[in-house]
Amino acid sequence: MSPPPTDFTAFTDIAKRVNNWGRWGPDDEIGTLNLITDEVVREAASHVRSGRRIPLALPLQQDGVQTGMIPGRVNPLHAMVQVNQEIFGPGTVACSDDVVTMGLQAATHWDALTHVSHSGRVYNGRPANTITPHAGATFAGIDKARHIVSRGVLLDIPRALGGRGTDERLPGDHAVTPEDLEAAEELAGIRVRAGDIVLVRTGQIQLCLAGDRHAYAFPSPGLSLRTPEWFHARDVAAVANDTLTFEIFPPEIEDLWLPVHALDLVEMGMPQGQNWNLEELSTACGQTGCYAFLLSAMPEPFVGGTGTPVAPVAIL
């Protein structure tokens, strides 16, 4: 049965409330990343206490998270073009070189603001056809988002919800709500603020790490349609989590597909990260009780890219 019309009204209403078009000028291409000021970064650096570095990227390999469900989003194919090749003659130093073919959104990645469009528009009200097969995203491509370093905050939902999660992993039908986010804030003893990059842990990636990428993909817990407004209220710079779909999938409202993508990327202009491995970070934060850190998550600057692999690191 289809949802009642009010549902779509709900989406439209939220869209209006979180819309940031024009907020940083008509030509802005980086949206909420504008909220990461030098001052935010300077303060973020003060969160480095132990100097421990925790990488958050999954290994890049052919046996990656993609199942073939999303056409064209291929796992990394790594091939050697030279192996110990003595390019300057016998007995000289030998070189090894490699090539890769991969979907930019195949593994641990950032969505560019232009990864989705709706109603013919991308972020800042630009026409969706600014994305072309030839040049990719000529407006708000990932190459414009070249400064993603800020304070990172881990909101560890299964831990915050205590007994409600299963083995510190949310069930597949759990939509992470603003209330969940606030419970995790309370656990962390921290308040999310302007310019923060929020990492929302669901524990779902455990399925992937255990070798079952199909279970990982679907059904998946993820962010609720109600979260963009919360992120907007807090002026968050970016959000990443440990799922394939970012938002709960299948969606909360029947036939309303990827509403969180549309709200975050198109309306707010806030980058999303997916397939981030937050397990080691969760353990570390649990041990120290500190859930804030310096986060460096620089996009690879693919010109026209609508996404990019990223190798984020939390510096605690």
Nearer to a second copy, 161 or 315 (CB): 315
Contact (Cβ atoms closer than 8 angstroms) between residue 129 and residue 101: no
Contact (Cβ atoms closer than 8 angstroms) between residue 96 and residue 80: yes
**Quick check: helix, strand or coil at residue 90?**
coil
CB of 176 to a second copy, least distance (A): 19
CB of 9 to a second copy, least distance (A): 15
Angstrom distances, CA of residue 15 to CA of 172, 178, 252, 261, 263: 26, 16, 16, 11, 6
Beta carbons within 8 Å of 25's beta carbon, 6+ residues apart: none
CB of 173 to a second copy, least distance (A): 19
Nearer to a second copy, 96 or 166 (CB): 96
CB of 286 to a second copy, least distance (A): 18
Distance, CA of 250 to CA of 256 (rounded, Å): 10
Which sign, positive or negative, has the C-alpha torsion 84, 310, 278, 47? Answer: positive
Nearer to a second copy, 125 or 162 (CB): 125
Nearer to a second copy, 68 or 163 (CB): 68
Nearer to a second copy, 160 or 310 (CB): 310
Nearer to a second copy, 151 or 169 (CB): 151
Nearer to a second copy, 17 or 118 (CB): 118
Distance, CA of 102 to CA of 300 (rounded, Å): 13
Q: Which pair of structure tokens corresponds to residue 1?
A: 């049965």
* Burial profile 228-265: b = 16 or more Cβ within 10 angstroms, e = fewer: bbbbbebbbbbbbbbbbbbbbbebbbeeeebbbbbbbb
CB of 171 to a second copy, least distance (A): 24
- φ and ψ at 131, to 5 degrees? -95, 125
Nearer to a second copy, 63 or 179 (CB): 63
CB of 198 to a second copy, least distance (A): 19
Q: Of 160, 190, 194, which Cα lies nearest the Cα of 177?
A: 160
β 272-274/238-241 pair status: parallel
What is the gyration radius of the CA atoms in the chain, in angstroms? 20
